[in-house]
Structure 1
Amino acid sequence: MLSLNEVHEMTGPFRTAVIGLGSMGYGIAQSCLRDGLVTHGFDVVPSQVERFQCEGGAAGSLHEIARVLDAAVIVVLNAEQTEEVLFGDKGIVPEMRKGSVVMACATVPPQFARDMEARCNAAGIHYLDAPISGGSARAATGQLSVMASGSADAFTAARPVLDAAAETVFELGDAAGAGSAMKAVNQLLAGVHIATMAEALTFGMTQGVAPEKFVEVISQCAGTSWMLENRAPHIVAGDYTPLSQVNIWPKDLGIVLDIAKSASFSAPITAAALQQYLAAAGMGLGREDDAAVAKVYARNAGLTLPGDA
């Protein structure tokens, strides 16, 4: 437990807290630490916090250090968790010093991002709408893409974190919402590409195309995609360690469809992909890597994927 005097002595180097040490958040925390930022890591899983502190992460409870943070990076699952971290019973915004910044990275509806910006600004806290893309490996090496929007002051306040964690920062506007809108576009494509990769790989199997040969050939042809090249090898290896879970996609594609509905826009391909992820979750695969959506196709076609008995 830190004393009040110890907390008051926490000045000098830029100090950040990464809240949510999942595959992406942990990588962001590592990148901030490697770049020389004093970095605290927090998660609902105590072992993740302990692991990060063993790697050099700063100690202290979130309540203790909130008042001296320059930036709080929120890398949780969804809008509900983001709001809870910021404004819940133990929310950090009321404890943060004026002029500090919240960098919110979860995939959320644009209107939610605008609402959070207004509430943070009312408390004297900057808010950067900053969804991320690139996967856990790129998070760990500081090479993420960030689709960000917010005031000039919010960008300035978050710049040390952006420099540490991102290879590319897209500055999409001077108010929250634009970053989340672009992330929705990205997630539409990413979710569809993973499901389509699974469909193509298993379709190939019905025609005698082995999964490893599929990856070898298609990754060099016009039908490839980043998602195909990243996820199809998981199927070939029979390894569904969750670098990105199936459960993410009902949430993210659900957000896409909600936005589309509000815009009177039909998104039938997104809706079809969503059904495959829902089927995968219904098979008990929700916590597996999202490449496990291929198991839906394999089950329906009576195919045996690599690694399956």
Structure 2
Amino acid sequence: MFEVENAEHQTAWGLPLTVLVCKVCDWSFLTSGEDTHTIKRCPHCFKGDLDSSNLELSQSTYQHSPELVIVPSVTTEVMSRKIDDFAGKIPYPPGDLRPDILHQRLQLIWFPEWLVDCSVSAVWDAESGFDYAVLSHQEHFSDSGWTTQQVKETRIRWEPRVGRMHRSYQNIIAPALDGHTDLWQRLGEYSISQARTYAPELVTHGLIRLPDLSPETSWSEVVPLLYKKAGNEVKTATSAEYIRNFRWSPEYRDKNWTLLLVPVYATFYTDDNGIPQPVLIHAL
């Protein structure tokens, strides 16, 4: 197996690392310790074996150790229930789709996420909307003659607002992998409050997927999130029920990026055509 020889990176991670690559899907992983010799099949596609690679850690998009790690907390009981629930929802399941088999094939993967802190200064303008009530009367004709009914209608009054804002935002989640949105829509949310400071002993088991998106590339995904947050803050600051046509001219400063590893369990079953079907399960 190819072990990472760069002393700087080994010092940062605090443990010896091996790079493994799947020749089918081209995903690469880091691993260390016992799992280096026990993990054979790629936990991303489950179609290819993991082979030692001549790829050096320094060639990856981001090779330094993470600052934060969320430790797996799912219990055996909860994991069994999740697997049973998944298997039970598949109509006409293939013979390989059995809870006991899925459980035997579980592999731990550490997926990367970027967290970014930054400060923003901006001049903004928007229209703030306020509900107000309008009373009107409607006449109706019946056998007893004409009757008048009072009707209360809620309308929105839009008023222009302008201002300047200075904000600091912490722990904005940004993608570290292609397919970030699809991945976490499938898995569900997690709480950053569960994160712990990185220590080598936390990642001695499982496969670590390094980012394939740099902070510079991921920043374009952060900007719309900050825009949405700023718009909501303007709505609150103006005591409005609604806001529209929010515009701002932001200046971003003091960006600080943090790499977070999030645990996910992967397993698979083969369908009736013999094709592996990956299954991802939240480890929290």
TM-score grouping bracket, smaller chain normalisation: under 0.3
TM-score, structure 2 length as denominator?
0.25
The structure in which a higher percent of residues are helix is 1
Larger CA Rg, structure 1 vs 2 = 2
TM-score, structure 1 length as denominator?
0.23
Q: Which has the higher contact order (CA 8 A, sep 6+)?
A: 2
